Structure 1
Amino acid sequence: MRRDTERLLTAPFLLSSAANFLQSLAFNLYLHLPGYLKELGAGEVGIGFVFSVTAATAIVSRPTVGRIMDAEGRRVVIVAGGMLNVLVCSLYLTIHDLGPWLYAVRIGHGIAESMLFAALFTQAADLVPAARRTEGIALYGVSGLLPISLGGLLGDVILTHAGYARLFQASIAFAAASLALSLPLRDHRPARDVTPARSFLASVTEGDLLPLWFIGFVFASAITATFTFLKTFVMETGLGSVGLFFSAYSGAGVLLRLAFGWVPERIGPKRALFPALTMLAAGFLVLAAAGSSIAVAVAGTLCGLGHGFTFPILSGLVVARARPAERGAALSLFTALFDGGVLVGGPAFGLVIRLAGYPAMFTTAAAVMLTGTIAFAVWDHRVEVAALATTRARET
């Protein structure tokens, strides 16, 4: 029987998960934003650029977010980010063309999401027992995976019976509900008698963290292929729907985490990581060859299984390798990798679509994923060998 100190489903953990679920649901309604942008006259490259502006803003703000979290606590960032998120979601109702105001709103959205994703995620990592870290992060991640499915499905329903204004109104409601649940949260940071935190740059450039930043960026860039362009792929081909793909995606990921979340810690994180990354690549290849709605659902399932393990395993490795006093900085950078993936992957994959079409784009995403996985395996092995040699040298 596990000790009370090893419990995962504590009241603070559940409250943090609920707040994340609602803000993620608000965020994932914008999986349908490319459709609105297309109605306004944007092409695939333009859509990728709009999303890249948001990502660039989030990346620039991450170091500040990380420093504030480590110095002042997670709660202040969560509440401020929640308030900004409600405001920004409201401003989408004022966007009627592709002018500068669109980019101003997207910049605000990038700041809000960088604050919420980083702070809520770090809050959850603080609450998870070290002995069950990957399992705990995997369970917490369910609150982020389910909204991918629900956001796609709910968006399909709203847009079938109403318009984009109603979609934006729904996002406002979910953002406000998340803010309300965030107010009772309290900080659970590591004890202050640990090693003092260094500068943001020093804390995130430790040698054993660098391979994790690399594979995290590769993972984030590759999944941009679906998160940014699945909507326009469906619109052009008539295959499946956003709701179908992301329901299969999140359903597979959630079931994997609930039933087998303990596996990475039982067999070793990296032994579970490499098959997960391979499943993601397989999902992209199925999409590249898709000729039916069933193929779209199969692709969603494969991608969801891959994502289901990849994210919590990488997160757990980051937490394990970073200093406790620098956890906020490390996880801020880790979550920023996903914005970096959009920043690079959005325009790049959009250009591939323009030049060669959707099958070539999804094939490219698979190639990026597989090549990056091999490079990470070699790099991280060398880091581990060097660390082991250093440890042995100190003992002699």
Structure 2
Amino acid sequence: ARVLHAAGVAIISAGVLIQLTQSLPMRLRGRMMGYFGLPGFVMLGLGPVVSEWLLYRWDFRILFLSLPVLFLTIGGVLYRLPRAETERSEGCRPRLLEALRASYGLLRSVLFFSVIFGFCFSAWHTFIAPAVQPRVGTGGVSAYGLGYGLGAILTRLGLSHRLDHGAGRYLSISTLALYGISLASIPYASTAHALVGLGLVCGMAHGTYYPSLSSIAAERFHPLHGGQGMSLYISASSLGMFLGPPVWGTITDRAGYGAMFVLAGLTLTAATIVFVAAQYRARHIRPWSEDRVLERE
């Protein structure tokens, strides 16, 4: 069930984002990708509260039974969208490996950083419930999720607009250092209010950094293989989230939740500093031009 759920989410997310990025100018693509993720943050804040209410009212099976209803609703909405007229020229379609190779070069550092973020993100996403329950109780997850969603929404609708282009993007991505510090503090929070505050900081950093990183990535998508570049970019953080839980679980078994969260926070903070410094030194990189495309081809 979890594999099918993840497959459905991946297909919808990648397909919609590819369509949207191809219909917008370069300068707006990062911002659009941020807007696309905004409803997810809304449900990140409301989802735990709704889930706890459903569990209290019925039992855990209602959560799984709701998934087919949600996907059928999404399918109905997508079916009613106007269809774009596209040419299906199979003979001109590039081979997958060639397209991925062309997209990977300039995206390499962005992809690696996305893997690291997903890797560290999975620490709280997987283990926050058992980590905070002894101190705060079962409401700790809802408190953190509420703060996270609220922080992401506030910055995604406001501050991120001022920082998703030019040199401001490096400052925006740097806020993930605060994310790392807050991540390391999660198991030491003793009240629900403290978890709301930590979630607020993490959510604000997430809401600020993602449009900026997406803007940098969009500039480096090969113009002839934009779909493959987008797929690589989306898959990178998912790969980190796939690798993270078994690693963090092993560390937790040996050293406890406190050490695991501290290590995850330090890893993200260190990766952020290294990435921003490297990107700032390489800020001369410009979006693909027609001449560069011809040279590469």
- Shorter-chain TM-score: what band? 0.7 to 0.9
Secondary structure, in 3 states, of the residue corresponding to 1:325?
coil
Residues in 2 aligned to 1:189 and 1:241: alpha-carbon distance in whole angstroms: 49
Q: Does 2:238 align with 1:343?
A: no
* Gap change, CA 1:325 and 1:231, over 3 Å in 2: farther
Q: Give the superposition deviation at 1:329.
A: 0.9
Residues in 2 aligned to 1:120 and 1:385: alpha-carbon distance in whole angstroms: 30
Q: Say which of 95, 116, 130 aligns to 1:232.
A: 130
* Gap change, CA 1:230 and 1:182, over 3 Å in 2: same
Letter in structure 2 aligned against 1:304: G
Secondary structure, in 3 states, of the residue corresponding to 1:128?
coil
Please, which moves more after superposition, 297-306 or 257-266? 257-266
Q: Say which of 185, 190, 194 aligns to 1:295.
A: 194
Asked if the contact 2:120/2:268 (under 8 Å) is kept, the reply is yes
Q: Say which of 133, 139, 157 aligns to 2:35.
A: 139
Q: Give the superposition deviation at 1:190.
A: 10
Aligned 1:175-186 pairs, distance under 5 A: 175-186=71-82
CA distances 1:109-133 after superposition (whole Å, capped 9, x unpaired) = 3322221221122233234343333
Residues in 1 aligned to 2:87 and 2:179: alpha-carbon distance in whole angstroms: 38
Q: Residue in 2 aligned with 1:317? A: 216
Q: Give the superposition deviation at 1:343.
A: 2.0
Q: Residue in 2 aligned with 1:126? A: 22
**TM-score, normalised relative to structure 2:** 0.84
Residues in 2 aligned to 1:364 and 1:188: alpha-carbon distance in whole angstroms: 47
Please, which moves more after superposition, 328-337 or 236-245? 236-245
CA distances 1:298-357 after superposition (whole Å, capped 9, x unpaired) = 111111011102222222221111123312111111111222112221111111221122
How many residues get paired? 283
Aligned 1:90-105 pairs, distance under 5 A: 105=1
Letter in structure 1 aligned against 2:216: L
Asked if the contact 2:100/2:229 (under 8 Å) is kept, the reply is no
Asked if the contact 2:159/2:208 (under 8 Å) is kept, the reply is no
Aligned 1:60-99 pairs, distance under 5 A: none
Asked if the contact 1:263/1:272 (under 8 Å) is kept, the reply is no
Q: Residue in 1 aligned with 2:269? A: 370
Q: Residue in 2 aligned with 1:148? A: 44
Q: Does 2:142 align with 1:243?
A: yes
Letter in structure 2 aligned against 1:311: Y
Residues in 1 aligned to 2:65 and 2:85: alpha-carbon distance in whole angstroms: 35
Q: Does 2:111 align with 1:213?
A: yes
Please, which moves more after superposition, 248-257 or 163-172? 163-172
* Gap change, CA 1:386 and 1:175, over 3 Å in 2: closer
Q: Give the superposition deviation at 1:216.
A: 0.8
Secondary structure, in 3 states, of the residue corresponding to 2:156?
helix
Letter in structure 2 aligned against 1:175: F
Residues in 1 aligned to 2:62 and 2:271: alpha-carbon distance in whole angstroms: 40
Asked if the contact 1:152/1:246 (under 8 Å) is kept, the reply is yes
Letter in structure 2 aligned against 1:296: L
**TM-score, normalised relative to structure 1:** 0.65
Residues in 2 aligned to 1:218 and 1:130: alpha-carbon distance in whole angstroms: 25
Q: Residue in 2 aligned with 1:255? A: 154
Residues in 2 aligned to 1:266 and 1:200: alpha-carbon distance in whole angstroms: 27
Residues in 2 aligned to 1:257 and 1:311: alpha-carbon distance in whole angstroms: 9
* Gap change, CA 1:143 and 1:325, over 3 Å in 2: farther
Asked if the contact 1:288/1:360 (under 8 Å) is kept, the reply is no
Letter in structure 2 aligned against 1:163: D
Q: Does 2:173 align with 1:274?
A: yes
RMSD of aligned Cα (Å): 2.8
Q: Does 2:255 align with 1:356?
A: yes
Q: Give the superposition deviation at 1:237.
A: 3.8
Residues in 1 aligned to 2:154 and 2:285: alpha-carbon distance in whole angstroms: 37
Runs of at least 5 residues in structure 1 that lack an aligned partner in the other structure: 1-104, 392-396
* Gap change, CA 1:106 and 1:184, over 3 Å in 2: same
Aligned 1:155-170 pairs, distance under 5 A: 155-170=51-66
Asked if the contact 1:190/1:324 (under 8 Å) is kept, the reply is no
Secondary structure, in 3 states, of the residue corresponding to 2:175?
helix
